Structure 1
Amino acid sequence: MTAAVLKQHLIDPEICIRCNTCEETCPVDAVTHDGNNYVVDATICNHCMDCISPCPTGSIDNWRVVAKPYSLEEQFSWSDLPPQEEIVAESGGDTTVEALEDDVSRLLEEARKGLGGKPVAPHSASKPTVNLYNSNKTATATVTGNFRLTDAAADSDVRHIILDFGDQRFPILEGQSIGIVAPGMGADGKPHLPRLYSVASSRDGEKPNTNNLALTVKREDNGVCSNYLCDLPRGARLQVTGPFGATFLMPDDPAANIIMICTGTGSAPFRGFTERRRRAMPDAPGRLLLFFGARRPEELPYFGPLQKVPEKLLGKYFCYSRVPGEPRVYVQDRIRAEAAQIASLLNDTRTHVYICGLKGMESGVDEAFADTCRGASINWASMKATMRESGRYHVETY
């Protein structure tokens, strides 16, 4: 295991005007200075943020995720801030950093609330790169594709958007997210908050060894960022942050069984999982199962392409809740219908469960697992806790 990583508060010497406001404001005396720079002592700073607003230049509002804190002597010698170092997160470690910026961290924490405990990456997952680009240092991507996935007559407009990063390095793993900030200001006169979108590609891109990735984006009524993305034409350029996330990752073990449960655009990471297994481990003994919920077939993203994926690679269970003349079927109903298969897989310590989609769906899925396990004399509450702690149970809902 590597040393614990931490979020270090720093002052940008290039734009600091040496007014002493930060040192006067800091309630714990973490800010000091010499004849060259004002600096922050990482051993004292408690991230109270009291110094942020009074700073007239914004030089105080800078952060880096580091494996080892920069010393005062190092900071005194700077003429500008060092770039964000590439942090490789340790899978399953207690100090895993999923995101650098508070706005992004809050979004990830909210998405994982349904997990019921601390998220842990699969032990066999590759180590992800996180926080390579942030709001102060963005990557520029070019739109090379924007395709509607849902039927033209469907109520929902879901898009498959391909972003190319050219010669900029933007490494991702299946299950990670990227950040997008729509241009312009909100009604409050402040920049729009970032929005996170799960990557819908495998780690080597839409095509092998291409420096691109895809997003699955649903146009939301009054959604500033979703409408911005869905309206982008080919050739448009946009600013991207990330990648983010170090736990909702695909196991690299070919013997791993993966149960994927989603609704709508929650299918994005599972497209990446399926593509990775198809390209890198086509003969893997582990099973892939997809329980995918939508109102009707024409509103299910990737419905056409999914029909072409062989059952040997992916077991598909589509669940429709609004087909005229048909009973309503939700993902939890199909899980119960497959109780024998699910119970057998859950008893296998190589099985991983992933839930992604609309917030609230996790409760229905949880009840379905409990019913399935009860019928097989399995204590689901105990099993779920064990799976979560061993990096085999994951939830991201929004």
Structure 2
Amino acid sequence: MLAPTIGHYVLARDDGQPLDFIPGQFIQIHFDYADGTPARRSYSLATIHDHAMGPGEAVEIAVSHVPGGAATALFEGLALGDRINASGPYGRFCLMPGDHNRRYLLIGTGTGVTPYRSMLPVLAQQMAERGTEVVVLSGARTPGELLYAEDFRAFADAHPRFRYVPCLSRELPAAGSPQAHPDVRHGYVQQQLAEFAPDPATDIAYLCGNPDMVDACFEALKGYGLPVPQIRREKYVSNK
């Protein structure tokens, strides 16, 4: 469990082949409701893999556990070695090879930071090759609900052009705790945008997670002058 209501799952293709995907894409899990009606749920790939070395074997996803949810029951009932049906990868919420921006603003809430985790090797390459700067604004209510915080913090420590900024709306880390850091902010992610002065001449923004957050940040970024093609969005909705 990454957080009280979010689990991390590692899957592999049962034919032994790797899954070739672009960081930011998602897979769909297929299952049936109790009445036999087919259903599917989408999950962004969280896998950190150096794609320059070819496709990887691991398929990692973060799953929100929704009380009474059919997909939640499916995942909670899985044991090591069990099989589930999936398709993909799908989606275009990816870093584009033709981008020439100087900075990425990667904004997410809850499991919305999952695609940014998979983008880390690509971002490292871009920072090395063209000096790109990256800011990840990760929103949660409490420190215990931040996803993959250790991965993002370790990456920030190793890459001076990368900043990881947890934005906590209810509870800040206790002084002296491992989560306490000068880059931690109190409030919602959209309330922190002014500090980073979004600039249409330099920035491309990615928004992923809660639909209300995505809409609020989208309007705020347009207010800073970012044209719509420089604001890339993916909304997450929890389904039962």
Q: What TM-score range do you get, normalising by the shorter chain?
A: 0.7 to 0.9
Residue 237 of structure 1 aligns to a residue whose secondary structure is: coil
* Equivalences for residues 256-271 of structure 1 within 5 A: 256=101, 257-271=103-117
Q: What is the rounded CA distance, in whole Å, between the counterparts of 2:201 and 2:139 in structure 1?
A: 25
Listed as ranges, the matches of 1:187-206 within 5 Å are 189-202=35-48, 204=50
Counterpart residue number, 1:109: none
Shift in alpha-carbon separation, 1:196–1:329, aligned structure 2, 3 A: same
Is 1:331 the equivalent of 2:189? yes
Q: Give yes or no for the alignment of 1:397 onto 2:235.
A: yes
Indicate which of 299, 311, 316 corresponds to 2:164.
Answer: 316
Report what 1:215 is aligned to.
61
* CA shift in 2, pair 1:302/1:169, >3 Å: closer
Q: Which of the pair is proportionally richer in helix?
A: 2
- Give the alignment's Cα RMSD to 1 decimal: 2.7
Corresponding residue for 1:287? Answer: 133
CA contact under 8 A between 2:21 and 2:89: conserved in structure 1?
yes
Offset, 1:328: 5.2
Unpaired runs of at least 5, structure 1: 1-147, 151-155, 374-379
**Shift in CA distance, 276/231, structure 1 to aligned 2, threshold 3 Å:** farther
**Aligned to 2:227, which of 368, 379, 384?**
384
Aligned equivalent of 2:179: none
Distance 1:302 1:267, change over 3 A: same
- Offset from partner CA, 1:24-68 (integer Å, 9 cap, x none): xxxxxxxxxxxxxxxxxxxxxxxxxxxxxxxxxxxxxxxxxxxxx
Q: How does 1:86-235 map to 2 (within 5 A)?
A: 148-150=1-3, 156-165=4-13, 166-182=15-31, 184-186=32-34, 189-202=35-48, 204=50, 210-235=56-81
Q: CA deviation at 1:217?
A: 1.2
Question: TM-score if structure 1 supplies the norm length?
Answer: 0.50
Q: Report how far residue 204 of structure 1 moved.
A: 4.8
Gaps of 5+ in 2: 175-184
TM-score where L is the length of structure 2: 0.80
CA deviations on 1:177-235 (whole Å, 9 max, x unpaired) are 111023x433xx23331111111124657x97532221111111112113422442322
SS of 2:39 mapped into structure 1 = coil
Structure having greater relative contact order (Cα 8 Å, sep ≥ 6): 2
Q: Letter of the 2:2 partner, please give it.
A: L
Partner of 1:236: 82
The residue correspondences of 1:37-76 to structure 2 (distance < 5 A) are none
What is the aligned-residue identity percentage?
A: 23
Larger radius of gyration: 1
What is aligned with 1:363? 215
Q: Is the 8 A contact 2:47 2:118 kept in 1?
A: yes
Moved over 6 A (4+): 324-327
